[in-house]
Amino acid sequence: MIYIQSWEGFSLEETLKPSFIRPLFRRRGLKYVKIAGKGKGAKLWQNGANVYCEDCDTLDLRHWSGLWLGKEKIVERAGSLFYAHRDLGLAISPSDRHLIFIAVFLSRTTSWETNVLKWTERIFEKDDIEELLRLDFTKFGTSFQLRQLNRVFRQYVENVYPLEDPWEARKALLRLDHVGPKTADAYLLFTGIDPSATPIDRHALRMARRLGIAGSPPRKELCTKHSCGECPAYNTCLRAKLGNEYGTIAGWVQTVFYHHSTTYCSRQKM
């Protein structure tokens, strides 16, 4: 068993909630058990200021807990956001890229809690790439996401999986069928390939406006042709603006936007 110390106010539970690594874990009492991918069977939990892990190494613990992104770096670029949302780290899993792609791809225009977590719990009984390539995903349901995944997962394995350069990976992702900028950036963020990647959704648009950062979502037809700095939409693109404002912690900021919007703004509407 190993452990690392968190900062005051940190919450492992709240950190995992908005992360695309969440489907890799199932909660069993006070512990999160890894059900698929590297370190399958490892147990993760928090007790006071410390986060513990059984059957994993220190780097995995730092990644899965979200504590790899240090408090000092966050405070330097986004101090006010940190002190309002100090419960959040940025949970990633660089060794489980193919599983994160599946979770991200399935999350398009559907319920995370009702559908995606249910689908992935069954799909991830097979976590080897070759086994997943042989799997008919429509056995888990009739949704268009599952139908499309049969073809797109193979495209992903052949064209994206080995790539580690952020911009090469992003362009390759955008060449896949049914993958837009939000899906591509979520993959880059939660695999740890690019911590500055910001998946722009309605939550990001809403919360950024409240901070005085107005912009539009990135457009696939432009993202596939241009690098970010050379894009004609650079000055109006919210992804670019957040990257300029927050640098390498922009992905954490977007996670804060999503968490705040879905947790607090949704309650206010009830």
pLDDT, one tens digit per residue, over 110-159 is 998 899 999 999 999 999 999 999 999 999 999 999 999 999 999 999 99
Contact residues for 167 (Cβ-Cβ < 8 A; gap 6+): 227, 228
Q: How far is the first Cα of the chain from the last one, in angstroms, to the nearest whole number?
A: 43
* Domain limits for position 68: 2-84
* Residue 270 scores a pLDDT above 80: no
The answer to whether residues 153 and 118 belong to one domain is yes
Instruction: Check: CB of residue 32 under 8 Å from CB of residue 44.
Output: yes
| Count of alpha carbons within 13 angstroms of residue 25, beta-carbon side | 27
Residue 186 shares a structural domain with residue 118: yes
CA distances from 5 to 33, 46, 122 (A): 20, 10, 33
Question: Would you state the pLDDT for residue 168?
Answer: 96
Q: How far apart are CA 209 and CA 226, in angstroms?
A: 26
For 177-221, the pLDDT digits (tens) are 999 999 999 999 999 999 999 999 999 999 999 999 999 999 999
71 and 104 part of one domain: no
176 and 209 together in one domain: no
Task: Give the pLDDT confidence score for residue 266 in this predicted structure.
Answer: 56
What's the mean pLDDT when you consider all of the chain?
96
Boundary-marking domain end, from 65, 84, 103: 84
Q: What is the structure's pLDDT at 269?
A: 44
Among the candidates 60, 84, 108, a domain finishes at: 84
Instruction: Give the predicted TM-score (pTM) of the model.
Output: 0.96
In whole angstroms, give the CA distance from residue 207 to residue 211.
7
- Strands ordered across the beta sheet of 50-54: 2-5, 50-54, 43-47, 31-34, 25-28
